Chain A
C-alpha cells in the first residue's frame, strides 16, 4: 500500500499565482488533514475533513481552501499565493483520531 501520497513534492510559485496540492490515501480513512510546518515550529492545522464531502477550518485557514469530493482525496488550494505561505505542507489521514494519523512525506512550497 502507498499510504498517504502528496503531490507535488516541491514547488516554487510567484506571488499571486494559484496552485492546488493533492493528497491521496488508499487506506479508506474517513479523516484527512492539512498541516503546515514552518522552521522551528510545530504542525499547525489548516483545514480538515471528517468524511467525503465535508470540510472544516483549523487554526490557520486564511488564504487556503480545500475540497473532499472523493473519500480518498483531499485537495488544498492557494488562490493567490503570498510569501507568508512559504512552508512545508503535510497531509495526514486517519480512520479515527484515536487511531493516530498517517502522514505523507510533505510538499515544500516556496512563494517568491
Chain B
C-alpha cells in the first residue's frame, strides 16, 4: 500500500545549528501534511501543517517545505535547542481518507 516514509531514522545536531528532517510520501492523492513532535514518554504534539496548494509555510522557528513534484516534505528547525530533542513524525492524508498515515519517525538529538 501507499505509505509515508522518512529518509533518516536519527539526526544529531549541535545546539544553535539548523536542523532539517525529511519525509517522502508516495500517495499522489495526498493533499494535507502534518509534522508532529513526540518527546520521551509523551504523546505526539502538532507542530505545523501544510496543504497541497502551498509549497512553504513558516511557524515559530519551524518551516515546512512541500515539493509535490518529487513527493517530498521537509521540516526545518532554526537555531535548534536542547528542548527540540524528540522524535519527529510526518503524516499525510488526502483523497477523502478518514485517517492520517504516519511515517516511522526521525529521532533528533541536540548536543549542547
A residues at B contact (CB < 8 Å): 4, 31, 33, 41-43, 45, 48, 50, 56, 58, 90, 92, 97-98, 100-106
Contact = CB atoms under 8 A, between A and B. Distances in A.
Contact of B102 (A43, A56, A98, A105): A43
A42 B105 contact: yes
Contacts of B99: 31, 33, 45, 48, 58, 97
Interface string B89-101: 1000100011110
Given A42-B105, A43-B44, A98-B51, 16 more contacts: A4-B43, A31-B98, A31-B99, A42-B104, A43-B102, A48-B98, A56-B98, A58-B99, A90-B44, A92-B43, A97-B32, A97-B93, A97-B99, A103-B44, A104-B43, A105-B43
Nearest to A43: B102
A106 B102 CA distance: 17
B42 interface: yes
17 contacts: A41-B104, A42-B102, A42-B105, A48-B98, A48-B99, A90-B43, A90-B44, A97-B32, A97-B93, A97-B98, A98-B51, A98-B93, A101-B46, A101-B100, A102-B46, A103-B43, A106-B43
Nearest to A97: B93
B92 to A, nearest CB: 10
Contact of B45 (A98, A103, A106): A103
Nearest to B48: A100
A25 to B, nearest CB: 13
Contacts of A33: 99
A104 B51 CA distance: 25
Nearest to B97: A97
Contacts of A106: 41-43
B21 to A, nearest CB: 14
Centre residue among A58, A98, A102 by max chain B CB count within 10 A: A98
